[in-house]
């Protein structure tokens, strides 16, 4: 079964907001763009807004689809809907005790991301 996920590449002043996945989570100990699984019948847009509120305390107001990545981790198959979030209300802060950082594109290589994110990290280096 493929797990549908929405994740937000939150952009502000040439930096991106990333969060450290908890050790006990799938792909734990690696950095991520905040987001989570779509509930049954939920659109990725709706998931994105819900998860960013829950995990980062922000309300995304302007966002657009950036890349769709399907990846098989062996134990889990995911379909990741990555969005660029270019405007939001509130201050982005980890709401679940997770470590977070604002990182420029050129510093993203200093952080270890899940395998499925490699194409995103490369695209961010080339695009912005
Ligand atoms: N959020 C997020 N998930 C990612 C990224 N890259 C990546 O491979 N994933 C994978 C890890 C997980 O298998 C899945 C997302 O699950 P999640 O743990 O964020 O889901 P959730 O927030 O609904 O968490 P939970 O309630 O199940 O704990 O997608 C990423 O950049 N952001
Ligand atoms: Mg999550």
Write the CB contacts of 103 (distance below 8 Å, at least 6 apart in sequence).
15, 16, 18, 110, 111
Torsion over CA: 125, 55, 4, 47 (sign): negative
Separation of CA 78 and ligand 1 centre (Å): 9
CA of 79 to the centre of ligand 2 (A): 14
Give the pTM: 0.96
Ligand 1: which atom is nearest the Cα of residue 54?
22
| H-only helix segments in 2-117 | 44-56
> What is the best residue among 8, 19, 22, 27 to mutate for testing ligand 1's pocket, by most ligand atoms within 8 Å of CB?
27
End-to-end CA distance of the chain: 34
Q: Quick one: which ligand is closest to 76's CA?
A: 1
pLDDT band at 127 (very low <50, low <70, confident <90, very high): low
Residue-level pLDDT at 128: 47
pLDDT in tens, 95-124: 999 999 999 999 999 999 999 999 999 999
pLDDT digits 0-9 by tens, 7-63:
999 999 999 999 999 999 999 999 999 999 999 999 999 999 999 999 999 999 999
Read off the CATH number of the domain in which 47 is found.
3.90.79.10
Q: What angle do CA 50, 57, 84 make, to 5 degrees?
A: 65
What local confidence, expressed as pLDDT, does residue 126 receive? 82
Report whether residue 44 contacts ligand 1, using a CB cutoff of 6 Å.
no
Residue position matching structure tokens 């049954």:
40
Range of the domain at 52: 2-127
Place of tokens 């990725």: 44
Name the domain count of the chain: 1
Task: Give me the pLDDT at residue 68, please.
Answer: 98
């Amino acid at each position: 079964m493929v797990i549908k996920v929405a994740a937000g590449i939150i952009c502000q002043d040439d930096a991106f907001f990333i969060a450290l996945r908890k050790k006990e989570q799938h792909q734990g100990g690696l950095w991520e763009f905040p987001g989570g699984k779509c509930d049954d019948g939920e659109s990725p847009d709706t998931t994105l807004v819900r998860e960013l509120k829950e995990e980062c305390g922000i309300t995304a107001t302007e966002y657009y689809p950036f890349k769709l990545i399907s990846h098989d981790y062996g134990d889990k198959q995911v379909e990741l809907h990555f969005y660029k979030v270019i405007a939001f209300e509130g201050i982005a802060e980890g709401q679940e005790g997770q470590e977070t950082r604002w990182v420029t594109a050129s510093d993203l290589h200093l952080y270890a991301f899940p395998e499925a994110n490699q194409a995103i990290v490369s695209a961010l280096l080339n695009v912005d």
